[in-house]
Amino acid sequence: MNLIGHFVDGKRVGGTSTRRGDVFDPATGRRTGQVELASAADVAVAVEAAERAARTWRDASLAKRTAVLFAFRELVNARRDRLAEVITAEHGKVLADAAGEVQRGLEVIEYACGIPSALRGGFSENVSTEVDSYSLRQPLGVVAVISPFNFPVMVPLWFVPVAVAAGNAVVLKPSEKDPSAALLLAEWFAEAGLPDGVLNVVNGDAEAVDALLDHPTVRAVSFVGSTPVARHVYQRGTTAGKRVQALGGAKNHMVVLPDADLDLAADAAVNAGFGSAGERCMAISALVAVEPVADDLVARIADRVAGLRTGDGRRGCDMGPLVTAAHADRVRSYVEAGVAAGAVAVVDGRDVTPDGDPDGFWLGPTLFDRVTPDMSIYTDEIFGPVLSVLRVGSYDEAVALVNASPYGNGTAIFTNDGGAARRYQHEVEAGMVGVNVPIPVPMAYYSFGGWKASLFGDLHAHGADGVAFFTRGKVVTSRWLDPRHGGVNLGFPTQT
């Protein structure tokens, strides 16, 4: 049995906890390993290693830090296929999709290679007579990154390169469902020259997360996962005095206006609805068709869905399995609930014949039409290959529907009317907006994050927000004495 442990202080280690989680190949249903589930004591060992490393890493020159980042970038780039294979083996997404995830992670490493520019402060000469002021950004110390199952490489890479480049030491707690990729990243970072203890990986579940949230040495927590856990992480972490950014779940809407290019919209709906079996926080799960386009659009989507091949991600299929048997059962129960509530199952994923092992965690793409806002397939984040079409009569109705959602991660509008698109981007309550782009994931030099129940905290991931999150500001006011200094003056300092 492949026993997956931790990576602490520059090497793979086992913990003291005897609790284990099962790791599966979702395309075969077979258990391929067990992951150690860290105790609070195991977490403390990693935090202590990070604390020791942080003391010297904060003083490593920018040149030294970026040299490590550049070397790490080269290693990940050269080994991207290996990483994609590991993702597919434990997550199930098809290889091409896993490679795309690696690419998006690489882009953040590349952004972090430019950290000297991002960390530059400001300088003002003569704010008062012969007094200068300048600003610095300094690292926080030890920070924690807690990631979800659906992007085992990209989400850790949203945070770790920026945190490390800014001079922090990190304890990463990956999802216990697909823990192996994070360990590879840590090994490769070490190979690139990162000193021992600057990046540690602790595998585990809620117990490890709570231990990180409670540990006084951990100064900040970047979390990505479902909304209830994100809320918990935010509340517990901030109560303990930490800086927290907690990215939560989503229900992303795609609005299609009557003047849209319907072939483009249908392609986009299929790609964004069923890519990665709908297990993306930016997946489109609600398509809002502004009449009279719904009949035509649904027919075009159904046509395309009929051509999708669901199966083993190593066989060139379009869509892989769901991550676990329990998750596949949960999504299937939503399909049943949709049918029972009166939605029209235009394509029913329960009927799929997969190109893969019969014991895999299969569910095919499901397309529901005539979904109404009270149905659970609409209100809940299903996180599976289920696309719901809601019909509305006008643009205003569409925006009102989208803005009534408790989530506000991503959204898209499909139209050829620039004025309508501009109005939508202005009025819609979501953190990331696509105009004729269904999955508007910002590039690494912008910041990724949603609004409302999709993000607790203020700062988004990577880009300028990421740098701000992993550093704290300091302003220095300095005077170098010269013979003209002014002597005692108890008045409040003002500019003179």
Q: Which two tokens stand for residue 347?
A: 């394509």
Part of the chain binding ligand NAD (CB under 6 A), chosen from 129-137, 171-179, 412-420, 421-429: 171-179
Instruction: Select from 73, 104, 173, 253 the one that contacts ligand NAD (CB under 6 A).
Output: 173
Instruction: Select from 115, 142, 182, 229 the one that contacts ligand NAD (CB under 6 A).
Output: 229
Spatial distance between the Cα atoms of 411 and 454, rounded to a whole number of angstroms:
12
For residue 98, the surrounding DSSP H or E stretch is helix 95-113
Instruction: Select from 171, 199, 209, 371 the one that contacts ligand NAD (CB under 6 A).
Output: 209
Does residue 206 belong to the site contacting ligand NAD (CB under 6 A)? Answer: yes
Q: Which of residues 408-427 bind ligand NAD (CB under 6 A)?
A: 409
Part of the chain binding ligand NAD (CB under 6 A), chosen from 46-54, 141-149, 369-377, 463-471: 141-149
Amino acid at 73: R
Does residue 247 belong to the site contacting ligand NAD (CB under 6 A)? Answer: yes
**Closer by beta carbon to ligand NAD, 83 or else 297:** 83
Interior/surface letters 141-173, b for 16+ CB within 10 angstroms, e for the rest: bbbbbbbbbbbbbbbbbbbbbbbbbbbbbbbbb
Does residue 253 belong to the site contacting ligand NAD (CB under 6 A)? Answer: no
Q: Output the CA–CA distances (angstroms, integers) from residue 341 to 378, 379, 380, 386, in the order listed.
A: 11, 13, 14, 15
Does residue 149 belong to the site contacting ligand NAD (CB under 6 A)? Answer: yes
- Which residues, including other chains, have CB under 8 Å from residue 67's CB and lie 6 or more apart? 193
Concatenated DSSP letters of 444-463: TTS-B--EETTEESS--BSH
Instruction: Select from 226, 235, 271, 436 the one that contacts ligand NAD (CB under 6 A).
Output: 226
Pair 7, 13: CB distance under 8 Å: yes
Going across the sheet that includes 386-392, the strands are: 344-347, 366-369, 386-392, 284-290, 252-256, 410-414, 432-435
Q: Which two tokens stand for residue 47?
A: 């935090």
Does residue 443 belong to the site contacting ligand NAD (CB under 6 A)? Answer: no
Spatial distance between the Cα atoms of 201 and 331, rounded to a whole number of angstroms:
30
Part of the chain binding ligand NAD (CB under 6 A), chosen from 129-137, 168-176, 178-186, 306-314: 168-176
Spatial distance between the Cα atoms of 310 and 483, rounded to a whole number of angstroms:
80
CB atoms within 10 A of CB 24: 24
Part of the chain binding ligand NAD (CB under 6 A), chosen from 147-155, 331-339, 387-395, 463-471: 147-155
- Which residues, including other chains, have CB under 8 Å from residue 96's CB and lie 6 or more apart? none
- Least separation in angstroms between residue 226's CB and ligand NAD is 3
**Closer by beta carbon to ligand NAD, 152 or else 311:** 152
Residue nearest to ligand NAD (CB): 225
Part of the chain binding ligand NAD (CB under 6 A), chosen from 25-33, 52-60, 125-133, 205-213: 205-213
Site size for ligand NAD (CB under 6 A) = 29
Does residue 203 belong to the site contacting ligand NAD (CB under 6 A)? Answer: no
Q: Is 281 a catalytic residue?
A: yes
Alpha-helical runs (H) found in 342-394: 376-379
Instruction: Select from 361, 383, 414, 424 the one that contacts ligand NAD (CB under 6 A).
Output: 383
Does residue 36 belong to the site contacting ligand NAD (CB under 6 A)? Answer: no
- Least separation in angstroms between residue 208's CB and ligand NAD is 7
Write down the catalytic residue from 94, 109, 229, 281: 281
HSE-CB for 105 with a 13 A CA cutoff: 30
Contact residues: ligand NAD, CB under 6 A: 146-151, 155, 173, 175-176, 205-206, 209-210, 224-226, 229, 232, 247-250, 281, 381, 383, 409, 450, 454
Q: Which residues are catalytic?
A: 281
